[in-house]
Chain A
Amino acid sequence: MTTLIINKKEYEVNLLGHETLLEVLRDKLSLTGTKTSCQESECGACTVNIDKKAILSCITLAVDVVGKEITTIEGLADGENLHPVQQAFLDHGSAQCGFCIPGMIMSCKALLDNNQKPNQEEMEYALDGNICRCTGYLKIFNAIRAAGTQMKAHV
């Protein structure tokens, strides 16, 4: 049995060695918040944070990230209290069908953890691996700006 540290909790998993992190999250641990739309690193729906960086779980071997700090969408809210990024997405109408959103939010969080005042170019480059078919991205940029302000105020 191996221990994976996910959302600050320890999960005991029987890893065979060839599972991707995506499969472990969704199929073994029922953490179905992380999605996939292509399974070949193009869509970004499987984005999680590992050691505070945006990482694609569909091309990560689970066994390779033992001991790392893994954060998924399920780890952002604190009970009823949403993370500023989540709240900003709600306030700004940044989600429509929602399928890309967990991955999108994880990319936004990784950006904002590093830089609470990203400019337009920095935002565009940070999200260039997350495909959204519904929103056209503008309201997502609005949410990032708002969440950044909020996060800066509470530092």
Chain B
Amino acid sequence: MKTIFDKKYINPVGKSVPKIDGKGIVTGQQKYVFDVSFPNMLVAKMIRSPHPHARIISIDTSKAEKLPGVKAIVTAIDTHNIKFGSNEYFFPHTVDQQALEADKVRYIGDEIGAVAAVDEETVDEALKLIDVQYEILPAVFDMEEAIKPGAPQIHEAMNNIAVILPVNFGNPERIMKEADYVREDVFYTQAAAHCSMEPHVCVGQFETFSNKVTLWSSSQAPFKCREALAKCLKMDLNDVRVIKLAVGGGFGSKLEMHPMDFAAVVLSKKCGGLPVKICYTREEEFAFSRRKHAMKYKVKTGIKKDGTILAMTGEVLADGGAYCSYGPTVIAAAIMRIFMVYKLQHFRISGYRIYTNTPISGAIRGFGGVQSGFAIESHIDLLARGIGMDPVEFRLKNITRPNMVTVNKMLLTSNGLRDCIEKAAAAADWKNKYNKQKHLCRGMGIGIAADVMGSKMYKSHESAGSIVKVEEDGSVYLFTGAADTGQGSNTALSQIAAQELGVSYSRIRCKSGDTEITPFDTGSFASRVTFISGNATKRAANDAKKQILTIVAQELKFNIDDLDIAAEEVINTKDKSVLMNFDKALELCYSFNYGRQIIGRGSYNPKTTPVDFRTGEGNISGSYGFEAQIAEVEVNKETGEVKILKVWDAHDIGKAINPQQVEGQIEGSIAMGIGYSLYEDLKFKNGRVANANFANYRLPKSLGTPAIETILIETDEKEGPFGAKGMGEASLLPTSAAIANAIEDAVGVRIKELPITPDKILKALKEKEQAKTN
């Protein structure tokens, strides 16, 4: 029996062990679906509408079909015309999209078919030969225009409002009258793009002799994809297999079935089972995949002169684009997050998700929390300034506490928000720098946020399963449905498995995200994986451990309750003596007398309550994460350019399973947050994306990377695996507001529209000068 463990990786939880798939990454050997190639594989592209709004009169593919090299063309007539929607469980009326549209197209790029051929040149030729007759309809691109009576109706929804979420508690109008200070602000946030480095890509194969489907997809949620695919194909779940390989980033854009996934499979079926690959170009990524909801966020709050928040009202309008995708839960999250951070009893904010004839707005890291983070945290700062109170003190006065139930029935168990704020402020030397660096055009700003661990937007349950299989030779296989898209879930879950089983991390191999082999898991979103999939993994490892100890107990005639495995050894818990090492125990299990396969199973469903998304009531998550972020900026008053000097992020993560990975997620989130705050902006012209390339949609690059100090606060969440909660989104939420608040501190102007570009700052400075002279 080989002893293959590395001593330094014993007790791995809490240690920054190297990524389990790291070697493959740094040698370029790790395979993404982008790299996949099969013999006789065909290449395919989607047939897209050039019009933002039109009725499909006819589609003539006959000329294209005759082109040599074209193997299959599909349109809606090759499908069952079934509609799907990513939020269908909670908002059944938002099932509004067909994979290949049959009657109407609703945005430039809307998919009505697909062509597969032997190479890309032939596909491009074929696309030119396809003749589609459209009846062009009037289109509407602006969300405030779309809700006016008389606007073109995009779906059956009245006034193009897909979803209204009226979140109401207490009696805010009455209580507002008791306030000493009231203010109302309106904020605008922009549409933005995910920009995962690996584009959307899939390979579909239909096995004709068995009527089974396999889809390799760069996906964050293989099981969600499988469910939608099976529904649209009218097939059983067990006959549809979705496999994710390494995924080059998702950030929310790869959380659902896309028409390309469906098309690849149907094309494969039509041409007798050849594998069909569809890969988006960068232009398609920008223009036709998913984008962030642009929002208009109006909020009005009344406070007492001692800073206590009394009541809050408002309205959120979100530009949803042509179909619903995850829109409804994005709006819900954009409102409900406020209850996680501030104590509120009297509240009325209504959220409206509006259809427009533009590309689809969907899930993107932060899920509405980036938009609401900008609006609320800017607004809170303005409230504090309004009564001359320090923004840090104002927040401390109003934040939620540990072990409290919010007005909308969220159960906040561990809550390190106070600690986060105080530690961030101390690290940033807030007292000596806030409002004290104006002569240098420098300023400090703070923003706070909370994160859920899971969000039940898929089904009523959120359970995840794991299997831990211990092989004869001592290697351990972890099977998890969780989808590692780079954030390191394979690594963290492997650490949890190793810790619980009592062995070195180097024994673990992790297989994730294959719907035929790995247990169910809803996927990588809502920062849920460490908490939910982690608990399932811990249970599975515990189960495997118990199976081994049962045999050891039998052999040594011990009571199983007096046995444990730790640091690669079976020990007597009473006197801590070592009874045998792990490999010996395994040898026993697999020996003639016992011959027992060690296969541990675990399932975990977080303790939540049913959530009514319409009213916002319900405990949506099994635990909540918190953080506070402070930004220090320097503003060039002549050019309006903003330099981020440093960002401090204090984060309550329960317990850091892998501190280096946690830091990496925080640093990456902040970089993304800075991008959204200062320069990322998806621009449209008559419904078409005008800057669909990296030259004109600029991402944060290495130049000017600010220093980031992360402070990890471990509140030891009892419900989490080894005290851990999830994370991955929270650090993105308050960044825009922290920067906007810091800009006001530095040069005295308030920008309420993202992105905060230099021209907006110059304009505001000019207006301030003019106001002074008037």
Which residues of chain A have a CB within 8 Å of any CB of chain B?
26, 32-35, 37-40, 42-43, 45, 72-74, 76-77, 82, 86-87, 89-93, 95-102, 105, 123-128, 130-141
List B contacts of A76 (CB < 8 A).
27
Instruction: Contacts A39-B282, A73-B28, A136-B700 given; indicate if A45 touches B22 (C-beta within 8 A).
Output: no
CA distance A14 to B707 in the complex (A): 49
What is the chain A residue whose CB lies nearest that of B695?
A: A42
Contact B26 A37 (CB under 8 A): no
Our pick among B197, B488, B705 for the contact of A131 (Cβ within 8 Å) is: B197
Minimum C-beta distance from B672 to chain A (A): 7
> For the complex, is B256 an interface residue (Cβ under 8 Å from A)?
no
Q: Report if A128-B16 is in contact (Cβ < 8 Å); known contacts: A73-B28, A86-B27, A93-B660.
A: no
B702 touches A137 (CB 8 A): yes
A32 touches which one: B31, B660, B667, B708 (CB < 8 A)?
Answer: B31
Q: Is the CB of B282 within 8 A of A40?
A: yes
Query: Interface 1/0s, chain B 214-256, versus A by CB < 8 A?
Result: 0000000000000000000000000000000011110100000
Chain A residues near B282 (CB, 8 Å)? 37-40, 43
29 contacts between A and B (CB under 8 A): A26-B35, A33-B27, A35-B34, A35-B197, A37-B282, A39-B282, A40-B282, A42-B695, A89-B26, A93-B18, A96-B488, A96-B665, A97-B197, A97-B246, A97-B247, A97-B485, A97-B487, A99-B197, A99-B486, A105-B26, A124-B705, A131-B197, A131-B699, A133-B249, A134-B249, A136-B700, A137-B667, A137-B700, A137-B702
Whether A33 pairs with B29 at a CB distance below 8 angstroms is: yes
**B661's contact among A86, A90, A93, A132, by CB below 8 Å, is which?**
A93
Chain A residues with CB below 8 A from B19, complex form: 90, 93, 95
- Asked whether B703 lies within 8 Å of A124 as measured between CB atoms, the reply is yes
Contact of B197 among A74, A100, A124 (CB under 8 A): A100
Beyond the given A89-B22, A97-B196, A128-B703, could you list 6 further A-B residue pairs with CB under 8 A, ordered by the A residue number? A130-B701, A131-B195, A135-B664, A137-B667, A137-B702, A139-B664
Which of A42, A74, A77, A135 is B668 in contact with, Cβ under 8 Å? Answer: A135
Which residues from chain B contact A97 at a C-beta distance below 8 Å?
196-198, 246-249, 485-487
CB distance from B525 to the nearest CB of A (A): 15
Residues of B within 8 A of A87 (CB): 26
Given contacts A90-B26, A135-B668, contact A98 B486 (CB under 8 A): yes
B window 715-770: CB within 8 A of A: none
Complex interface: chain A residues within 8 A of B708 (CB)? 136, 138
B694 at interface, CB cutoff 8 A: yes
Report the minimal beta-carbon distance from B678 to chain A, rounded to whole angstroms.
14
Q: Chain B residues near A26: list those with CB within 8 A.
A: 35
B199 beta carbon closer than 8 Å to chain A = yes
Most buried by A among B22, B30, B32, B488: B22
Q: What 3 A-B pairs have minimum CB-CB distances, sorted nearest first?
A: A33-B28, A97-B486, A99-B248
B311 at the interface (CB under 8 A from A): no
The reply to whether A42 and B694 contact each other, CB–CB distance below 8 Å, is yes
**Chain B interface, >50% SS class:** loop
List chain A residues, Cβ under 8 A from B631: none
Query: Does B208 reach chain A (CB closer than 8 Å)?
Result: no
Decide if A98 touches B25 in the complex (CB within 8 Å): yes
A76 and B251 alpha carbons, distance in the complex (Å): 30
A38 and B698 alpha carbons, distance in the complex (Å): 13
B27 and A43 contacting across the interface, CB-CB below 8 Å = no
> Which residues on the B side are within 8 Å of A138 (C-beta)?
667, 705, 707-708
Most buried by B among A72, A99, A136: A136
Assess whether B693 is in contact with A93, with CB atoms less than 8 Å apart. Answer: no
Q: Which residue of B lies closest to A35 (CB)?
A: B34
B27 near A82 with CB under 8 A, answer yes
Q: How far is the CA of A137 from the CA of B663 in the complex (A)?
A: 12
Q: Please give the distance in Å from B702's CB to the nearest CB on chain A.
A: 4
Which residues of A have CB within 8 Å of B701? 127-128, 130-131, 137
Q: Are B27 and A37 neighbours in the complex by a CB distance under 8 Å?
A: no
Interface centre among B29, B199, B695, B705 (most CB of A within 10 A): B705
CB-CB under 8 A from B22, the residues of chain A are 89-90, 95
A151 vs chain B, min Cβ distance (A)? 16
Contact present for A96 and B28 (CB under 8 Å): no
- Interface assignment of B312: CB less than 8 Å from any CB of chain A: no
Nearest CB on A from B704, distance (A) = 7
At the interface, yes or no: B671 with Cβ under 8 Å from chain A?
yes
User: Is B670's CB within 8 Å of the partner chain A?
Assistant: yes
Q: Determine if B693 and A40 form an interchain contact, defined as CB atoms under 8 angstroms apart.
A: yes
CB-based contact B26/A74 at 8 Å = no
The answer to whether A96 and B199 touch across the interface, beta carbons within 8 angstroms, is no
CB distance from A130 to the nearest CB of B (A): 7
Could you say which of A86, A91, A130, A137 has the most chain B C-beta atoms within 10 Å of its C-beta? Answer: A137
Assembled-state Cα–Cα distance A22/B480 (Å) = 35
- Docked CA distance A107–B251 (Å): 25
Interface 1/0s, chain B 380-422, versus A by CB < 8 A? 0000000000000000000000000000000000000000000
Does B281 sit at the interface, judged by CB under 8 A? Answer: yes
Are B693 and A32 closer than 8 Å at their CB atoms?
no
Q: Does B8 contact A (CB under 8 A)?
A: no
B93 within 8 Å of A by Cβ? no
For the complex formed, measure the closest distance between the CB of A32 and the CB atoms of chain B, giving whole angstroms: 4
Pair A93/B664 contact, Cβ less than 8 Å? yes
